[in-house]
Structure 1
Amino acid sequence: MSTAQRNEQNQRNERNRRNEAEPASQFALLRQRRFAPFFWTQFLGAMNDNVFKIGFTSLVTYQAARFSGVDPKTVAFLISAIFILPFVLFSATSGQVADKYDKAMLTRWVKTFEIAVMLIGAAGFWMHSAPLLYVCTFLMGVHSTVFGPVKYAYLPQRLAPDELVGGNGLVEMGTFVAILLGTIVGGVAAGIGATDAATVTDGPPLGAWWLGGMCIVIALVGRVASSFVPPCEPSQPGLRINWNPFSETWRNLRLAHGNRTVFLSLLGISWLWFVGATFLASFFNFAKDVMSADPDVVTVLLAMFSLGIGTGSLLCERLSRRRIEVGLVPLGSIGMSVFGIDLYFASHGLPAAPHLLSVGEFLRTAAHWRVLADLFLLAMFGGFYSVPLYALIQSRSEPSHRARIIAANNILNSLFMIASALMAMGLTGAGVGIPGIFLATALLNIVVAAYIYTLVPEFLLRFVAWVLVHTVYRVRLVHTERIPAEGAAVLVCNHVSYVDAIVIMAESPRPIRFVMDHRIFRSPFLGWVFRHARAIPIAPAHEDPTALDAAYDACAAALAEGDLVCIFPEGKLTRTGEMNPFRHGVTEILKRSPVMVVPMALRGLWGSAFSRFAASGQERSDRPLRRGLTSRLTLAVGEPIAAADVTLSRLQETVAELRGARR
């Protein structure tokens, strides 16, 4: 086992030792040295990126006469493309460097480089030189390219598994708050001292001096913050770096492709960057040409977008119960499309303005509030979409080459963002307005999301399960951390309702192969769900002995691959609420694969909408029928039992104790 793997195992052990304690809020990380200096370093870097880019974009959009040879209608997309070009060229090399060297040392080196880059940018502002500013844009892209693998590989080394969603949520929230502050600072500074910019071509306005100075100051403060980041040992210090960016890029993509779920998650994140880049780069022209608003209104638009992302990112921990909940990903994509389409309709019929509206005039128009709501909600659902995907990639990538997986992610992100810029420029050249670009992106999101969920049914299945347990049921969890985070195990549970497996699926930290009665596959909905969940159909020996042997073989194969297998040893739903006798299926599985057994119990499902008691309409004087849509239930998990110590009587007694008197 490598040093990085030992560290991650120690973190898991520490979590198990403190599982009885009330989990701390994710904001507690901001008081700890292992996270806080790193958080503020990346925060200031993201802020500086946006002070520079927004200042540059604002100047060339609203003061185009100062910059010769610049087309204000397409310059925002061009700046975006230049910024992300280094991700294509250097991400592969950056991933190797992040795996080979101390990430704290690399962080400080990157922040020193940022100071030099901002000196070039300041000169570009002061000389109103577009070429110098384009060079600075490219170099800031290099800065972000190197820091990206460091950032996302640092988190899983320093955070426990149950902190990963919260930590990623804070970083995503911090990034977009930094974007918001950078937008405000960059936009306000660009407007300082501006007159009728369309006719002014002499020396730089006062705002250009402010922009250059602030970029340098923020870079210096970021460098100071980086000096407090604690050492973070390299994941693979003996790695020999391949300096050929083209061959290494291909190698990184192949490395990422080795884990299908991780690779498709990378594609999912890259698509989000396609969507986000399209919207963010369009805001200046959207404000000016569609809403007849001044540059300050762009700040309001970006504020709503940033607050939405931040809100969605922070809510992820609460909605996922500190786990990596990929069921939030489809929820996010649905919301993005719904509010992206509504933004198109909200952008039509806006009242005409005789002049560029100020922020106050903009906010006094009721129709504009629908636009702001759409942007906020679209971004919030984007937070639901992105945070679980980042956490999934970090948790399922091998620690020894995690940074290179992140580098592959950056490569794909940059390609998608360049495609976004090219699409937007092409549609603009064809006469499509900004609302039309928004609509095209939202409709494409539906197609891409449907395709990804077809390839990775786990996302959609977890979404179905998550919706069920967050609408129909209110679930209390007892020691679910005992479900193994890795390795093979057999889970055994009492069988109360038709949705037992879906409830367990929703609360498990990883996919489960369920052993299900073959008749359940005849149900149109449940059959579809469990076929895509790779459930294992089983039949009694007297009905189909061949199918029974095939089921045991499938269980053995799944356990050999390190999967979780769940079986309901009663073999059928309870008709009375009491447990039926356990059958020998579980012991037959253990004969072939002597793995750990984890007993579990469901309480409170008897009498709910999906139990046989409710389905049959039985009434008993001592137990009224509960048909409410918010039934309370509990999933309790017992201590794992070694295969050699398992007997049917012990298993049944243990599950009965976990269930208790409540059915």
Structure 2
Amino acid sequence: MTQTRAAKPLMLSRRFAPLFWCQFFAAFGDNFLKTSLVFLILFSGLSEANSAALVTIASGIFIAPYFFLSALGGELADRYDKAMVAQRLKFAEMFVAGIAVTGFMLKSLPVLFVALGGFGVIASLFGPIKYGILPDHLVREELPAGNALIEGATFIAILTGTIVGGIAAKDGGHAGVFAAMVMGFAALCWLSSLLIPPTGQGAPHLRITRNVAASTWALLRHLRADRRLWWGAMVTSWFWLTGIVVLSLLPTLVKGLIGGNEDTVTAYLVIFSLAVGAGSGLAAIIARGRIVLRTTLAGAVLLGLFALDLGFIFRGEAIASALAGPAIVFWSGHGLRAAIDLAGMAIAGGLFIVPAFAAVQAWSDVDYRARTIAAVNILNAAFMTGATVIVAALQAFGVGVPMLFVGLGAATLLVALAIWRTMPRSE
């Protein structure tokens, strides 16, 4: 059975490809909207005051629903057929896309923030399905490769969504192009979900908890009771914390200290996204069907070192007085070194996350798997939301981007030490 299922390449198989494309189109739409919003805040003049903090808050608005709704998403995914739940969520997402189009046409930050929060709600409910469904359709040996492909799809979608979002919002943007992209990819996401094979009900007698606070706490207690799962959840949460901090600080770093314009911000985001995909692929190659947690440790050390170097580059640098395109910025010493550091952080991030998340999936009980993923997502969201609030507060009190990167790097090296001391045995 295992050999039969593993014989066909994942990207050509019905049991994996529709989920891959559904996740790709969803991540594209999320990041297209986020990037358009960031560019409107930074470059269009819609909000001159506290623009850096608003960019960070935008990330927090998207992530916050993960904390409140992941438990519900996990229960729905275990109680009902995961494919069916995904299809209904993605159908609803098309209506949220309509709110985003309205906000862009009105150039209204509040309406765009509402749409971004709506995408966050859909994504938080979809998260337990996205990763919980993989062990239903893949054999254990395929999990590292499947996770690497999903992570790669996510960051390629971030890449393309970022590029197109930046183009759509440049010089105020074109409402027609924005509408076509947001609505079109929401529709493609829904159509892809219709092809996901059914999984059956993991826990057909499960009663959905109406009190989301109670269900959230119950899932965290269950996660905490298993030492290995708790370890994996904490490790993956640190990855997402560093990711959201880096992506929220990057546009401000490029504009304010490197002196890059909209195209330059897009170029740096492209480098970061491609490098994460490369790191995820490298982790899958190293694993060769196994779960190799030493790769996570190596990724943590490299991530911390590159973040420290990026912070030290710009320590004491003055605010850029003029904005330049990618060709000029990349020829500058600081611009090139910053690109290398960001690529290094991204590759290290891919090495960091793939083995850790594959381990969580492999260690989870079959009838509780989606709820385990939901509990992990809750911790992820708590780390990310807390990080965005702290970073936004520090920015409001005048802490600069370089010192924030130095702090992130130092903290990540401490996390690497903790990983080394507590890491379960690889399988």
Q: TM-score, normalising length from structure 1?
A: 0.62
Give the drift of 1:354.
Answer: 5.1
1:333 maps onto 2:300 in alignment: yes
Give CA-to-partner distance per residue, 1:4-53, whole Å, 9 cap, x none: xxxxxxxxx524x89xxxx879xx21111111111000000000000001
Structure 1 counterpart of 2:314, from 318, 329, 347? 347
Whole-angstrom CA distance in 2 between matches of 1:208 and 1:294: 21
Shift of the 349–130 alpha-carbon distance from structure 1 to 2, 3 Å rule, reads closer
Whole-angstrom CA distance in 2 between matches of 1:304 and 1:104: 33
Query: Partner letter of residue 22 of structure 2?
Result: T
Whole-angstrom CA distance in 2 between matches of 1:367 and 1:327: 32
Give CA-to-partner distance per residue, 1:140-180, whole Å, 9 cap, x none: 11010111000111101101111000000000011000000
1:286 maps onto 2:253 in alignment: yes
2:159 match: 180
Alignment of 1:378-417 (within 5 A): 378-417=345-384
Give CA-to-partner distance per residue, 1:254-303, whole Å, 9 cap, x none: 11112111111101111111111110001111111111110111111111
Secondary structure, counterpart of 1:178 in structure 2:
helix
Secondary structure, counterpart of 1:458 in structure 2:
coil
- Structure with greater strand share of residues: 1
1:156 maps onto 2:135 in alignment: yes
1:207 match: 174
- Give the unaligned 5+ runs of structure 2: none
Compute the RMSD of aligned alpha carbons: 1.9
Structure 2 counterpart of 1:14, from 2, 22, 45? 2
1:97 match: 76
Contact 1:363 1:369 in 2 (8 A): yes
Whole-angstrom CA distance in 1 between matches of 2:71 and 2:319: 49
Shift of the 353–146 alpha-carbon distance from structure 1 to 2, 3 Å rule, reads closer
Shift of the 238–422 alpha-carbon distance from structure 1 to 2, 3 Å rule, reads same
Give the drift of 1:446.
Answer: 1.5
Whole-angstrom CA distance in 2 between matches of 1:78 and 1:352: 22
Give the drift of 1:206.
Answer: 4.3
1:125 maps onto 2:104 in alignment: yes
Whole-angstrom CA distance in 2 between matches of 1:206 and 1:176: 24
Secondary structure, counterpart of 2:88 in structure 1:
helix
Alignment of 1:26-105 (within 5 A): 28-64=9-45, 66=46, 71-105=50-84
Whole-angstrom CA distance in 2 between matches of 1:324 and 1:427: 38
Identical positions, percent: 34
- Give 1 or 2 for the bigger CA radius of gyration: 1
1:449 maps onto 2:399 in alignment: no
1:512 match: none
2:424 match: 458
2:240 match: 273
Alignment of 1:226-305 (within 5 A): 226-305=193-272
Secondary structure, counterpart of 1:377 in structure 2:
helix
Whole-angstrom CA distance in 2 between matches of 1:346 and 1:354: 18
Give the drift of 1:350.
Answer: 7.3
Whole-angstrom CA distance in 1 between matches of 2:410 and 2:107: 39
Whole-angstrom CA distance in 1 between matches of 2:312 and 2:203: 52
Q: Which protein has greater RCO, CA pairs closer than 8 Å, 6+ apart?
A: 2
Query: Partner letter of residue 336 of structure 1?
Result: L
2:278 match: 311
Count of matched residue pairs: 427
Structure 1 counterpart of 2:334, from 354, 367, 375? 367
Query: Partner letter of residue 261 of structure 1?
Result: R
Whole-angstrom CA distance in 2 between matches of 1:178 and 1:206: 20
1:322 maps onto 2:301 in alignment: no
Alignment of 1:514-525 (within 5 A): none
Secondary structure, counterpart of 1:73 in structure 2:
helix
Alignment of 1:522-561 (within 5 A): none
1:625 match: none
Structure 1 counterpart of 2:145, from 166, 182, 205? 166
Give the drift of 1:230.
Answer: 1.3
